[in-house]
Amino acid sequence: MQTANTTAIVTGGASGLGAATAAALAGAGARVVALDLPAACETAPDAPGIEYVPTDVTSEDEVRAAVAVASNDPDRPLRIVVNCAGIGPSARILGRKGVHDLALYAKVVQINLVGSFTVLAVAAEAIAATEPDEGGQRGVVINTASIAAFDGQVGQAAYASSKGGIVGLTLPAARDLAQYGIRVMTIAPGIVETPMLATVSEEFRAGLAAGVPFPQRLARPDEYARLALAIVDHDYLNGEVIRMDGALRMAPR
């Protein structure tokens, strides 16, 4: 599927994986509508081809408003959605302060899983209303899971649950949307050099990198972005989860 002269939605588009993906899509000729929280949008760097729309992915109304913005250019139809918005707090089910905060657990699932589903479903409705290309395609949705979906560590019950839900969503979503010419794929990154790691020491990052079989380093956001563009371009990739982790399998802690 062509990227040029289309519109793409990227959630979490003001930083990390989302920012790298938004930049890569814009560089490939797409009009990018980057969704993120208001504070993140205010501090995001201006970039040609990228429009920031303050959006809370847990709000159906805000998601619908953002999708309407992304669907308002008939010359550049909405074809691409990349869900990168998410949070990853750590807490044990039973810790020194008692039981895992149930509200925190619900919040993680609400943002990471329900938020991704909301954007997928609302955007799919808009994409389905567009004219297909010569191959019968209308679009592709790429969700973001994590290797924690498979190798969740101590303290990752909420995060791993939410990302496991993304993995489980992939195939049925692809089957549901096949009749509309919409593909659904998931990327499961390993440890990526994102702002979430900016607060830890170089020594700690080096220790994380040492656990990766090869290449023995942390992944870069631009590598995620390149994989997302490859998925867009490869019409026969559908209903699958791709691990981007250097063959890393996480230990219990």
Give the domain CATH number at 64.
Answer: 3.40.50.720
Task: Tell me which of 105, 159, 224, 236 is the catalytic residue.
Answer: 159
pLDDT-above-70 percentage for the chain: 98
Query: Which pLDDT does position 66 carry in this prediction?
Result: 98
Q: DSSP character for 79?
A: E
Sorting pLDDT into bands at 50, 70 and 90, what band is 14? very high
Cis? peptide before 215, omega within 30° of 0: yes
Residue 249 domain flag = no
Contacts of 28 (CB under 8 A, 6+ apart): 3, 4, 229
Q: At 213, give phi and psi (nearest 5°).
A: -55, -55
Structural contact between residues 18 and 12, judged by C-beta atoms closer than 8 angstroms: yes
Total Cβ atoms within 10 A of residue 125: 13
In 37-154, the DSSP E strands lie at 50-54, 78-83, 94-95, 98-99, 139-144
Query: Which pLDDT does position 23 carry in this prediction?
Result: 98
In the structure encoding, which two tokens stand for residue 210, read together?
Answer: 């040492």
Write out the residue range of the structural domain in which residue 18 sits. Answer: 7-194+222-243
pLDDT greater than 70 at residue 199: no
180 annotated active-site: no
Residue 15 domain flag = yes
pLDDT greater than 80 at residue 132: yes
CA separation for the pair 42, 59 (Å, rounded)? 19
Structural contact between residues 1 and 233, judged by C-beta atoms closer than 8 angstroms: yes
- Give the model confidence (pLDDT) of 112-130 as tens digits: 999 999 999 999 999 999 9
Count of domains forming the chain = 1
Residue 69 domain flag = yes
CA separation for the pair 137, 231 (Å, rounded)? 14
Residue 2 domain flag = no
Contacts of 145 (CB under 8 A, 6+ apart): 163, 164, 166, 167, 186, 187, 188, 241
Residue 120 domain flag = yes
- Give the model confidence (pLDDT) of 53-72 as tens digits: 999 999 999 999 999 999 99
Q: What is the mean pLDDT of residues 133-151?
A: 97
pTM: 0.96
- Give the model confidence (pLDDT) of 62-106 as tens digits: 999 999 999 999 999 999 999 999 999 999 999 999 999 999 999
Reduced 3-state DSSP string for 97-108: CEECCHHHHHHH
